Amino acid sequence: MSPPSSDGPVPPGPRPVPILIARLPHGEGLPLPATATAGAAGYDVASAEDGSLAPLERRLFRTGFSIAVPDGFECQIRPRSGLALRHGITLPNTPATIDSDYRGELMVALVNLGTEPFAVTRGMRIAQMVIARVERANFTEVAELPKTERGVGGFGSTGVGREPAGTDGSRRE
């Protein structure tokens, strides 16, 4: 039998990752992170405080909880698309990473890229969190890397020398 979930019955598919969450005193009354729909990847996170952001201002907002992410996973904090589109509110370090050994309060860094001041209110959904597996790497120093067709080309190099497609999808010569 599957363990109980705060989101209701466990749907078929991959097993949920167990995340321990501790509510802090200033987080009383706030909703725990939750998905808005059954197919949503992100869990909405609410602000535990009121505040405002002037255009181009950055600020940390408290969430009122701490989490324990199991080893081998991370919690990614990402912008909410509606806030980004309508108001220019995003994260300056997206996605932000909460490591498995961090036990402090989850805080969300927001930046206002819009042209108007933006008010954050207690309980407002300000970000979303996604739990992701972390793969460990073993770095081996070598004198030279294997050759590829692309080589050292980066930052748009795969489109260099190519003409944009015409409105009918054809290439211009």
Q: Tell me the β-bridge partners of 68.
A: 20
| pTM confidence score | 0.78
User: Which parts of the chain register pLDDT below 70?
Assistant: 1-13, 160-173
pLDDT at 173: 42
Q: Which residues neighbour 14 within 8 Å (Cβ) at sequence distance 6 or greater?
A: none
Q: Can you tell me which residue has the tokens 């802090």?
A: 24
In terms of Cβ atoms closer than 10 Å to its own Cβ (0-12, 13-18, 19+), residue 110 is buried
* Angle 7-9-15 from CA coordinates, rounded to 5°: 85
pLDDT at 157: 76
**Count of Cβ atoms closer than 10 Å to residue 46 Cβ:** 23
* CATH superfamily of this structure's domain 41-133: Deoxyuridine triphosphatase (dUTPase) (2.70.40.10)
pLDDT at 15: 84
pLDDT at 8: 57
